[in-house]
Structure 1
Amino acid sequence: MQREILSILGLPHRPRPHIYTKQNAAPMFMLDLYNTISTDIKQPAGFSYYNPIFTTNEPPMVSQQDSRFLNDADMVMSFVNLADLDQELLSSQGNREFRFDLSQIPEGEAVTAAEFRIYKDYVRERYENETIRVSLFQVLQESSHSKKDLFLLDTRMMWVVEEGWLVFDITSTSNHWVVNPGQNVGLQLSLESLDGESVNPRLAGLVGGSAPQDKQPFMVAFFKATEVRLRSVRSAHGHKGRNPNRSKNPKTAQDALKVAEAAAENLSTDQKQGCKKHELYVSFRDLGWQDWIIAPEGYAAYYCQGECAFPLNSYMNATNHAIVQTLVHFINPETVPKPCCAPTQLHGISVLYFDDSSNVILKKYRNMVVRACGCH
């Protein structure tokens, strides 16, 4: 069962993330994205796919632009900073480096947007009235020398007393790294005063290794599938001509009419036996996956079951084809089966989880929840 569900989730194996607590390891941004999806879904009364996770009283980190990115994406990944988290000790250089491993990105996913985010604390001491120039560079080539080959990505002016997340667009850089993984040697953030002097990132309020985990810098990328994988459908062969299971003495129209009348007389007015939706809850916790699936703990999948018997009433949500098939079934039930009770409307869910590298992934999965059933 676990292998089949992992296959549906598009995972080759069960992730084994590093040992981190979920509250600290998952960037708050990803939790806010998950809450945005679960809040935006219009759910019928008494019908819950999954509940939002409210983790903090702080304002949400998701902007309107991020919401637009999310609407166009089918997967979002946040990446753990692999560079030294204590680089603020190297204050003389006035810069800090970051590195992210993009090798875990699934095949067939293209980056539609990517951001680098670093938190800026309020500073009351030194530089409190200053404006600082913040520059983000792509490291083009590693070097043993103090100076590295850098490409400027973005520059902005920052008032030292401001507080909040600084967001840099690194979409083009991320796409370059995906295509050329060997050239992914990280980012560098440099701070300078207006007179050109280097500024210690820690003294300017940019968080480092000693800051709380939910304020650690991270990278986030939005993805869209570039190829569609269709499940193979088995086709029936060798059914040309007369069906070998067909009765040698097919029923006449009069016989079919008698069968239909008898079925109508015996049909219970109680609709409990008719095709309809039934309760089915899939619990990720019961599968033992609570160490890598952050949210939800499970979801209401539902399933369809019930008779598609003559006559197909309106509550059975039958197709025209099912109605015709029912009539033909009465003429020769051994040749044509009754219509099947199956989902007519399906809804997707979103799952927030860790991968093997402790990156946090938010992925949308289509056709996971039954909204309505009918006869087909």
Structure 2
Amino acid sequence: MARTHLIILINSLVCVTQALPVHIADQQFINSVSERMGIDGRNIGISTNDVSVPAHMRLKYWSLAMKHKRLSREKRSRFNLPTFAKVIRENEAFLSDVLYAGTMRHQLRFDMVGKIDRDSRVTIAELKLYKERPNFTMHKHLQNGTSQSHSHHARVSIHHVIKSPDNSSDTANIIVDSRLVELNDSGWKTFDVTSAVERWSQDPGEEFLLELWIEGDRATSHAIKVAKNVEFVTEQTNVEQKPRLVVYTEHYEQRFDPTDCGEGTASETCCRRPKYISFRNMEWTNRWIIEPRGYEAYECVGPCHIRHSSQATDLINCGVSKSSPLPMMYLIQKGDITQVEVSEIPNMVVEECECLA
């Protein structure tokens, strides 16, 4: 019974448009999705375009969306691992442009669009910054007359700056690495930014932004003075000392899923075929659903042979045998209050098809 219910839900999304007039198909789609989202499908007085999404809700959605993409990619790929040295590749270092340089804040931009192979996985990403030797006079002033309790370190943190996908001015900062740096030290310092590059690689259409924060390691005036004198090379004509991003990637090969339909030919067996659903083409979903704008739902197509038994003939159809959820950010109405909700809506993506009675 549970399997039958699943088939009805999925097919109402991806197959109903083939059998019904558009307005009826749209209404069944609305009813099915709104039931899973826990809303009643009525129109609301505001539009998703009028809503300011809180940063923590946007981060929650991005996190779920990236997990969904990663799981989907891993399911339909296989990694070729004959030797470690052969697979892991160091890409050419990316040099930064400086968008902002202050005393204790620096924003760095790296142009990586189209420069990392899509058929690869990020394994390690390192930000390398060159720390300059401090001004001798100021350094001596900070050291003279201080007790052992005074610090000679600063806290250096790297943040990933994420822009809103709707091209608004909203951004979110996620800390990716942090360490103490000694005032009188100099030379290259390396920070682990793997998680940030992985996050960016899930949707690599935007520039990659990092922020460098330099702060006192404690809440004292002396610690703040120390932090203000910790300097990294950000704007420098000497290319050899410019901030650089080194990305190591692992190549993988796409795997053909035997349950997927072949491209460009009519299916002779029950199989899964791409089917894109746009949430912007229907008024209701356009008003309620903020993200995603649409998604690849897939559908089950192809013939199934009739099974004959001693008692009866079983009618079987090509249907959904396995599905997965879809991360969504949408509006919900509680009384007179409209709120933003983020959750994984079940049974939205067809994963596998088979002939079912």
TMscore range, shorter length:
0.3 to 0.5
**TM-score of the superposition, structure 1-length normalised?**
0.36
Structure that is richer in helix per residue: 2
Structure that is richer in strand per residue: 2
